[in-house]
């Protein structure tokens, strides 16, 4: 049986652990304190209405913890890419109302994230109150990690909490800079991400299987290289698998393919063989005459694709091979769909594999962790996103983590990664 709740990471200080310890000494430890909480509210909005609450809901645990402790919670977030200018359509004001409904408590709004509008709104905030500041990226200093902007953000704060793993790959003022000037902690959503991701890749229960799909190998070469040293089995699917097939001399017809990456593909296959990592590539495929929903198609062996055809999905034997690998694994890590899942019926392999992975998680046979924007959409399409052990809300940060990169927002929270020690008391 694989436990769903991993032990907390020792690499960072979790908000609830740190502050619960402080409160045990001084029950007034957080009461009235001003907590700057970095969240990811970059959610899809249409006609002023939020269409997906996943990222808003991820912040609720940290906010409620701070509310119960009597802190004043000051939410910081970005929305879209206004590039340092005030763009009214990118205002976070509609998000404040939507988050208030999800939280079940009032959420005030400040018309700026620094200066007098922010100071005045914070001054009015009662103990246990919640305030959302205006879009951080209305100021160029945010993405530049400008020290003056960092100081302006930090000025009203007593402590800093980063709860936005999805922005942790950016060394911005609100994701990295603040950790150097205030006592800094990982929020509950951040801690959950790191706990699960570390357990899935740093010290996975074995055998460990990674599934990597998506369109192009060029965007995931570093991911594949890093995973070869971490897992026992690596399944390569989606459009990127075509490059591996073609690199071995197979004709992939009009399929998406990157001939300039053939040497990379061959090197990855050779490295896997040398490390004893089993590579799973499609043995049969769904070939179609056009990239369109319900285009005429057929199932054929991977080396029997016609010159006027393109590969749009894995075939049933390939899915069976992948499901068998899942059933023998104790850790499953997934990034990227297996085919053109947005075009029926070329979503069949992704749906079948996702449901099989969900069964592994629900039965306790394996810890199943997934992440990436397309992956989240594919799992939602398959109706199983809630059945995995953990699904990351991050896109770029998840991909960089898979590559083995140091994420600035995480490094800044680690002991020794800040000017002030991460274990500094807030009371």
Is-catalytic flag, 124?
no
Q: Which of 84, 395, 396, 404 is catalytic?
A: 396
Q: Which of 31, 64, 102, 216 is catalytic?
A: 216
Three-state SS for the chain is: CCCCCCCCCCCCCEHHHHHHHHHHHCCCCCCCCEEEEECCCCCCEECCEECCCHHHHHCHHHHHHHHHCCCEEEEECCCCCCCCCCCHHHCCHHHHHHHHHHHCCCCEECCCCCHHHHHHHHHCCCCCCEEECCCHHHCHHHHHCCHHHHHHHHCCCCEEEECCHHHCCCCCCCCCHHHHCCCEEECHHHHHHHHHHHHHHHCCCCCEEEEECCCCHHHCHHHHHHHHCCCCEEEECCHHHHHHHHHCCCCCCCCCCCHHHHHHHHHHHHHHHHHCCEEECCCEEEEECCCCCCCCEEEEECCCCCCCCEEEEECHHHHHHHHHHHHCCCEEEEECCCCCCCCCCCCHHHHHHHHHHHHHHHHCCCEEEECCHHHHHHHHHHCCHHHCCEECCCCHHHHHHHCCCCCHHHHCCCCCCCCCCCCCCCC
Is-catalytic flag, 199?
no
Is-catalytic flag, 373?
yes
Q: Which of 21, 84, 128, 373 is catalytic?
A: 373
Is-catalytic flag, 330?
no
Q: Which of 33, 38, 55, 230 is catalytic?
A: 55
**Active-site residue list:** 55, 216, 373, 396
């Amino acid at each position: 049986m694989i436990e769903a709740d991993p032990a907390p990471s020792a690499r960072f200080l979790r908000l609830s652990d740190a502050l619960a310890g402080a409160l045990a000494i001084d029950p007034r430890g957080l009461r009235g304190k001003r907590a700057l909480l970095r969240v990811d509210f970059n959610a899809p909005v249409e006609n002023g209405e939020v269409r997906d609450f996943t990222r808003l809901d991820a912040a609720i645990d940290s906010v409620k913890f701070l509310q119960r402790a009597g802190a004043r919670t000051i939410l910081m977030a970005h929305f879209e890419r206004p590039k340092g200018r005030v763009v009214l359509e990118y205002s976070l004001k509609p998000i404040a109302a939507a988050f208030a409904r999800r939280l079940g408590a009032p959420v005030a709004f400040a018309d700026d994230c620094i200066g007098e509008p922010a100071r005045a709104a914070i001054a009015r905030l009662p103990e246990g109150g919640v305030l959302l500041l205006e879009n951080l990226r209305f100021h160029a200093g945010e993405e530049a990690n400008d020290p003056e902007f960092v100081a302006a953000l930090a000025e009203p704060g007593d402590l800093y909490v980063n709860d936005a793993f999805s922005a942790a790959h950016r060394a911005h003022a609100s994701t990295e800079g603040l950790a150097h000037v205030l006592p800094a902690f990982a929020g509950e959503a951040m801690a959950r991400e790191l706990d699960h991701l570390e357990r899935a890749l740093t010290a996975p229960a074995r055998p460990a299987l990674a599934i990597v799909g998506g369109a192009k190998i060029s965007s995931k070469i570093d991911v594949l290289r890093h995973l070869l040293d971490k897992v026992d089995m690596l399944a390569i699917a989606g459009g990127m698998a075509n490059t591996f097939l073609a690199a071995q001399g197979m004709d992939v017809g009009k399929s998406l393919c990157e001939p300039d990456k053939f040497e990379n593909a061959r090197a990855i296959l050779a490295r896997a063989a040398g490390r004893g990592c089993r590579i799973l590539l499609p043995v049969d495929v769904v070939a179609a005459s056009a990239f369109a929903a319900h285009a005429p198609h057929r199932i054929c062996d991977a080396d029997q694709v016609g010159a006027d055809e393109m590969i749009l999905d894995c075939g049933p034997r390939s899915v069976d091979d992948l499901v068998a690998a899942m059933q023998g694994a104790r850790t499953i890590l997934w990034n990227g769909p297996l085919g053109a899942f947005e075009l029926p019926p070329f979503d069949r392999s992704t749906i079948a594999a996702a449901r099989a992975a969900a069964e592994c998680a629900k039965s306790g046979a394996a810890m199943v962790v997934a992440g990436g924007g397309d992956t989240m959409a594919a799992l939602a399409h398959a109706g199983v996103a809630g059945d995995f052990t953990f699904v990351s809300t991050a896109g770029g940060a998840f991909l960089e983590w898979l590559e083995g990169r140091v994420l600035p927002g995480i490094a800044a929270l680690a002991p020794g990664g800040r000017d002030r020690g991460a274990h500094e008391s807030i009371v």
